[in-house]
Structure 1
Amino acid sequence: MENKLIIGIDFGTDSARGILYDLDGLSLRKQVVAPFKRWKEGLYCNPAKNQYRQHPADYTEALACIFEGLLKDLTPAEKLQVAAIGTNTTGSTPVALNEAGQVLAMLPAFAENPNAMFVLWKDHTAIAVATQINQLAKQGAVDYTAYSGGIYSSEWFWSKITHIIREDEAVWQASATWMEQSDWVPYYLCGQQLQQVKRNRCAAGHKAMWHESYDGLPAAEFFHRLEPRFEKYKLPFYTETYTSDQVFGTLAPDLARQYGLSEEVLVTVGAIDAHHGAVGAGIRPHVLVKVMGTSTCDMLIAPYAEATTLLPGICGQVDGSILPGFVGYEAGQSAYGDIFLWYKKLMLAPLKSILGALMTPEQIQAYDEHFFNYLSQQAAQIPPAFDDLIFTDFFNGRRTPDADMELKAAAYGFTLATTSSQLFKALVEAAAFGSKAIIERFEAYELAIHELIAIGGIAEKSPYIMQVLADVLQREIKVLQSDQVGALGSVIFASLAATAFDSLAEAQEKLCPAVATTYYPDQGLAPIYQQRYQRYLSLTQRNYKAHE
């Protein structure tokens, strides 16, 4: 095999991560993390309104940082050995573009307008629209939510677009089309025209109701009924979709010259980050890959023969969305790590406010760094009991099963003796119970799960949380060695485009990381956690009744 270098780029919520992979030596040459500057400063977001927006300049600056960091130590000859680039991003994270194919927020008139920026996956400003879409879908001859678990979410493409064109006259007037971040990144890298864009099937199927059975996207008439303002657009935005083993285009000449790369560098079709993470983790039939970060995504694939039943309450079943040749399923929880970060802020905010001026930066950093270690050690000493404090995990709504972004978290069992460690333990258990509910939904429809792999920040850094998850699920959980599995998934697809491997299976076999840690369930805790899970389900039902 020729000496080939591959770049994989994974856009997360807080940063973009890039890796340079050497296919000749099957080794990671370098990795770079580029935080999003404006996002870190909290710009364009309003948590009280569930508004989370990201400026496109954060993305372009992150890409520049990644290319400069990955390539700076390479010789000119080595730079020319870069054969392909694969990318993935968060989703659904759409943005408005004008007739010239420019993101509106990159224009002076819209530079500070959050509605002209990327609407991040966790933005829930479109809850009312999602309700309308679900009602409209059930009234027509075709239920366009059928392959989205029967429920369309406020986190997804059409909900967000509709909300913004209703709210912002200027954005509506200036926009010609909308694009997912996972399509825009390769579009930007290739410097293409709008008509050349290859929309990825992953985002289209899971977030935009695209399906072959009704010739692609929902009919234009469906959107005209939802919101008359859609009549200004040329619908459908696209008809064909593409899987990540296909080539999007070649690197834009100006970017190639800037970084000393060949203009023949291939850029592959994008996808959502969790899906590429599952590929990088070695997903195969009957293996559930849990991507565990601020939220979770639970990824599963099935051969066509096993995917004949529509699965209610799950965020989509899409042909080729994860691995070509298989039906991909996505589930997950809208908040996971976010729950624990909320608790950390809740507990430390008064301390920092009152004593911050008296504490050194090193002391403040020590509080931050040791907070979870302390609580984890304390919580691990508390044996679970039936009547312990119990939470539901709906701090950012419920993604699956049965999406409902208006749902709020609830708790039962507080007393004057409740400690901070007991409260932390209850939050960790709630997150684990939410994972159990997802697995039970898969298995209720005869999608067997024989193995569980976990990747992401929580899996790598939180042994206590992972052990509780193993105990609640009563399953072994394998955590992989690599901390950049998402970017590695993009490398796998890019390496196929560079013809380095004969098949995707071979690429996974060669490139996927080994298991670093396996968490084994304490079987003695199975009865008590089953009892506590039933209490969680009971509290969930009360949650729904209070919400109604």
Structure 2
Amino acid sequence: MSGPFSLGIDYGTLSVRTVVVDMTDGREVSSAVYEYPHGVMDRVLPDGTPLPDGFALAHPQDYLDGLTDTVRRALAASGVNGGEIIGIGVDATSASLIPLDENLAPLCLDQRYACHPHSYIKLWKHHGAEHQAKMLRQTALERGEDWLSLCGGDIRCESLLPKIVETAQEDPEVYDAAAVFVEIGDWLVSHLTGKPVRSLQMAGSNCFYHLEKGYPSEEFLKAAFPHLPPVTRKMTGTLVPVGSSAGGLAPEVAEALGLPAGIPVSAPHIDAHTAALGCGASQEGDLTAVLGTSACYLLNSASPNGAPGIYSTFWEANAPGWYGLEGGQSAVGDGLAWFVEQCVPAAVTREAAERGLSVHTLLTEKAAGLAPGESGLLALDWWNGVRSPLMDPTLRGVVVGLSLHTRPEELYRAFLDAICFGARRIIDCCETAGHPVKRIFAAGGIAAKNPLMMQLLADICGRPVRVCASAQTCALGSAILGASAARSGTFSQLIGQMASPVVSIYQPQPEAVKVYEDLYRQYLDLSEFLCRPQSPLRQISSLKKDCL
């Protein structure tokens, strides 16, 4: 046992994990995971209140219970004395909004608002604010708002501002009761410290905050929605940069966690972005592909300029000393899980059970036996709409080339190809806008579990893909933030000292690269045809809306 130690607390979409990390070398001493009992609420609230189409909510009590559970279990498993923990770092899914009362408590925990959908956490994948996003986008274009270029020239419904406006318009009672609207990462750190805190990088990445001009003006918001009550007054709180301390651990929380009071707690950070820290992707041109339920692609750049279709550009959003660009895909693991749960025949499920494999592992094994393009299928990775570069949540997935002879593993392989084509397109958008990509790192559950997809990513992008040893790069990145908050070294030094080493490098295979280059061009052609305003795909989507 060495030390000192920091805690990294990583809040994902479906679970929270805490790791105890040795700050001298980044060694992960122990970890604990807590699955949220309520999961993602997209049909009904706990009391049975039905939810509209497009809603994706979470229950804050799951996050509080998971905090206590994982910290205590991780500490017990580590053998580390609580007094040896000198810093705590926190990350959480971004663009996940929660309204709080004047005591910084979630409104939905008050029985008066427990049946109000807008009082719960609106997750990043909540698409209920599409109308508000469209109106804000149209107004920003008409007014020539200069901050629009930093979010790809568009406003996506997943960002915070449309969700706040959605609450104001659809549930004024909740809006009026809310003292502030914050990211869940901000709320969690405020809970830990007892102080109202906002992450500077979260504000810049998801709420259009500008270092010199602040949030979009009330004048702009009034131009979009003339009857909207003041919004920015409910976005108060001290903005703290990543790598800095947001305050000390509050005594009552410290007692519940079994830790000493006063331990420095880092400013919160976006979960995917901490993976870049955990991977050591801290140089200009480093791109981190964080592959989980969705995917984020995080690029370090010397240029402050945005890129069309890349939905945020902000100083030190990914790593110290660089501007950070972020693009993403709305469904990666979610899309593969949908296929396994809804489309796989019983024979495949039986075979997986007989061999003691998961269905994902069996399909991956079978898909790996296929040559590039062998199935004759081409898919678009639009199972939950499109983030980058089209920024359109109404678009839907497509598979071309199906026949009576199509096998499940061929469809699975087509989905994997499509995810990698989407990644390639994001890289192309960055480079076309003058942001070179020099190295690719892959992180997240899929990077650790699916070698086939890593090879496909290398072949389709035509570049080596680096995978780190840690399976918990987000939590490790948060532990680095905790160490930085404790001021045990400079932020950059700690990344070099604690980041996970690369254990695998997937090299592009020349023959596969040639085939995939042609398939990628077909992917782009199909995408261009189906995203047009009068395309059959849009007409079908409109028909569904009319029938609801």
What TM-score comes out, normalization by structure 1 length? 0.91
Residue 36 of structure 2 corresponds to which residue in structure 1? 36
Contact 1:216 1:239 in 2 (8 A): no
Contact 2:25 2:497 in 1 (8 A): no
Residue 465 of structure 1 corresponds to which residue in structure 2? 453
Match of 1:315 among 293, 311, 314: 311
Residue 71 of structure 1 corresponds to which residue in structure 2? 75
> How many Å apart are 1:3 and its aligned residue?
4.3
Aligned mates of 2:418, 2:454 — CA distance in 1: 13
Q: For 1:102-181, what aligned pairs fall within 5 Å after superposition?
A: 102-181=105-184
Sequence identity, in percent? Answer: 28
> How many Å apart are 1:26 and its aligned residue?
4.7
Coordinate RMSD, CA, aligned: 2.5
> How many Å apart are 1:274 and its aligned residue?
0.8
Aligned mates of 2:458, 2:72 — CA distance in 1: 41
One-letter code aligned to 1:296: A
One-letter code aligned to 2:422: G
Residue 49 of structure 1 corresponds to which residue in structure 2? 53
Match of 1:345 among 333, 337, 341: 341
- Alpha carbons of structure 1 residues 508 and 189: separation in structure 2 relative to 1, 3 Å: same
- Alignment deviations for residues 7-50 of structure 1 (CA, whole Å, 9 cap, x no partner): 11010011001011122565322111111111178774789822
Match of 1:281 among 259, 279, 287: 279
Matched position secondary structure for 1:332: strand
- Alpha carbons of structure 1 residues 13 and 249: separation in structure 2 relative to 1, 3 Å: same
One-letter code aligned to 1:68: R
> How many Å apart are 1:383 and its aligned residue?
1.9
One-letter code aligned to 2:437: I
> How many Å apart are 1:458 and its aligned residue?
0.6
- Alignment deviations for residues 410-462 of structure 1 (CA, whole Å, 9 cap, x no partner): 22212222222221111111111101101111111222212111011111111
> How many Å apart are 1:74 and its aligned residue?
7.0
One-letter code aligned to 2:376: D
- Alignment deviations for residues 257-303 of structure 1 (CA, whole Å, 9 cap, x no partner): 33342222011100110111111111121111110011110111123
Match of 1:485 among 473, 482, 503: 473
* Correspondence 1:243 to 2:231: no
Matched position secondary structure for 1:145: helix
Matched position secondary structure for 1:341: helix
Aligned mates of 1:387, 1:83 — CA distance in 2: 54
Q: Which moved more, 1:509-518 or 1:17-26?
A: 17-26
Contact 1:149 1:402 in 2 (8 A): no
> How many Å apart are 1:216 and its aligned residue?
0.5
- Alpha carbons of structure 1 residues 377 and 234: separation in structure 2 relative to 1, 3 Å: closer
> How many Å apart are 1:518 and its aligned residue?
1.7
Matched position secondary structure for 1:383: coil
One-letter code aligned to 1:277: A
Contact 1:243 1:324 in 2 (8 A): no
Aligned mates of 1:172, 1:399 — CA distance in 2: 27
Residue 385 of structure 1 corresponds to which residue in structure 2? 373
Q: For 1:402-413, what aligned pairs fall within 5 Å after superposition?
A: 402-413=390-401
Contact 2:304 2:323 in 1 (8 A): no
* Correspondence 1:269 to 2:257: no
Residue 23 of structure 1 corresponds to which residue in structure 2? 23
- Alpha carbons of structure 1 residues 169 and 8: separation in structure 2 relative to 1, 3 Å: same
Contact 2:54 2:127 in 1 (8 A): yes
Residue 84 of structure 1 corresponds to which residue in structure 2? 87
> How many Å apart are 1:467 and its aligned residue?
1.5
Matched position secondary structure for 1:199: strand
Q: For 1:247-258, what aligned pairs fall within 5 Å after superposition?
A: 247-258=245-256
One-letter code aligned to 2:240: Y
Contact 1:12 1:273 in 2 (8 A): yes
Structure 1, gaps ≥5 residues long: none
Contact 1:80 1:260 in 2 (8 A): no
- Alpha carbons of structure 1 residues 24 and 512: separation in structure 2 relative to 1, 3 Å: closer
Matched position secondary structure for 2:68: helix
Q: Which moved more, 1:458-467 or 1:239-248?
A: 239-248
Q: Which moved more, 1:223-232 or 1:154-163?
A: 223-232
One-letter code aligned to 2:217: A
Residue 8 of structure 1 corresponds to which residue in structure 2? 8
Aligned mates of 2:237, 2:191 — CA distance in 1: 21
- Alignment deviations for residues 63-107 of structure 1 (CA, whole Å, 9 cap, x no partner): 0101211223577x9212221111000010011122333210111
Residue 201 of structure 2 corresponds to which residue in structure 1? 202
> How many Å apart are 1:315 and its aligned residue?
1.2
Aligned mates of 2:343, 2:390 — CA distance in 1: 31
Aligned mates of 1:478, 1:324 — CA distance in 2: 21
* Correspondence 1:513 to 2:503: no
Aligned mates of 1:182, 1:418 — CA distance in 2: 44
Matched position secondary structure for 2:153: coil
Matched position secondary structure for 1:231: coil
* Correspondence 1:420 to 2:423: no
- Alpha carbons of structure 1 residues 59 and 368: separation in structure 2 relative to 1, 3 Å: farther
> How many Å apart are 1:308 and its aligned residue?
4.5
Q: Which moved more, 1:416-425 or 1:532-541?
A: 416-425
- Alignment deviations for residues 397-422 of structure 1 (CA, whole Å, 9 cap, x no partner): 11111311111122221222222222
Contact 1:335 1:395 in 2 (8 A): yes
Q: Which moved more, 1:487-496 or 1:257-266?
A: 257-266
Aligned mates of 2:495, 2:334 — CA distance in 1: 31
Contact 2:42 2:54 in 1 (8 A): no
One-letter code aligned to 2:34: A
Contact 1:176 1:233 in 2 (8 A): no
- Alpha carbons of structure 1 residues 110 and 66: separation in structure 2 relative to 1, 3 Å: same
Aligned mates of 2:447, 2:319 — CA distance in 1: 23
> How many Å apart are 1:390 and its aligned residue?
0.6
Aligned mates of 1:248, 1:430 — CA distance in 2: 41
Aligned mates of 1:451, 1:24 — CA distance in 2: 26
Residue 531 of structure 1 corresponds to which residue in structure 2? 518
Q: Which moved more, 1:260-269 or 1:224-233?
A: 224-233
Matched position secondary structure for 1:19: strand
> How many Å apart are 1:333 and its aligned residue?
0.8
> How many Å apart are 1:233 and its aligned residue?
4.7
* Correspondence 1:61 to 2:65: yes
